[in-house]
Structure 1
């Protein structure tokens, strides 16, 4: 099925591509760890009602969405723990409403939240 507009002809593929670009810009939480020991993270599902709030081991970069990306909106808890010493933990309550957020865990005393990708 084709759609016409004043700027030209758009195909369903083009519309799907545009939709994926728009969706890729909002409500994603990207998390990585630059710590020397393995770190796990969990992101609550208070405002979404869906998703997974289990603990996941963090990668060192944002390259693989299956390992580093969560889809969240609104206020959520982001928690971190040492994978081998789970009594070491820290957490933050953060509003992820309508914006991408790039989180970097450095240590239990140093975690950053950026609105632009520090790897870009």
Structure 2
């Protein structure tokens, strides 16, 4: 069994370490000696240092960095919630309503400046929104209810 050890630096620059077995990582072997995988986390992160070990050897460590100007969103309710993020500072980005689930999408939304972030329920009977300054920072948003939205900036 392969073991994957990954250390990451969270947006507030706290170093943390986690271990996952290969069952939680989707591996794709493209070339001999190369493994591509998707790392899932319940927290956004700025960088990841990954070491992949098998019974026979340890593969080269891989360092993955996430850039600033990202917005990560997590739905921490049991309701179906949608999120809208404007694209004023990045016109190439999508500006439609997206279903959001628990945990964070590690890709996030690239937005390098002021944007509108809004949430609505499935019936579109409740909405809440905010202006977010995402210039040179990473923003982590946890939706808990229409009266409890946690917004944390770093960078």
Normalized against structure 1, the TM-score is what?
A: 0.71
Higher RCO (CA < 8 A, seq sep 6+): 1
**1:5-63 deviation per Cα after TM superposition (whole angstroms, max 9, x unaligned):** xxxxxxxxxxxx77x62xx130110001112211000100012222001111111001x
Partner of 2:92: 50
User: Counting strand residues as a fraction of each chain, which structure ranks higher?
Assistant: 2
Partner of 1:104: 142
Q: Report how many aligned residue pairs link the two structures.
A: 93
Large movers: runs of 4+ above 6 Å: none
SS in 2 for 1:81: strand
In the TM superposition, residue 89 of structure 1 has moved relative to its aligned partner by 0.6
State whether structure 2 residue 114 is matched by structure 1 residue 75: yes
User: Counting helix residues as a fraction of each chain, which structure ranks higher?
Assistant: 1
Alignment counterpart, residue 65 of structure 1, candidates 84, 93, 106: 106
Q: How far apart, in 2, do the equivalents of 1:44 and 1:90 lie?
A: 14
- How big is the alpha-carbon RMSD for the aligned residues of Structure 1 and Structure 2? 1.8
Normalized against structure 2, the TM-score is what?
A: 0.55
In the TM superposition, residue 73 of structure 1 has moved relative to its aligned partner by 1.1
In the alignment, structure 1 segments of 5+ residues that lack a partner are 1-16
SS in 2 for 1:115: strand
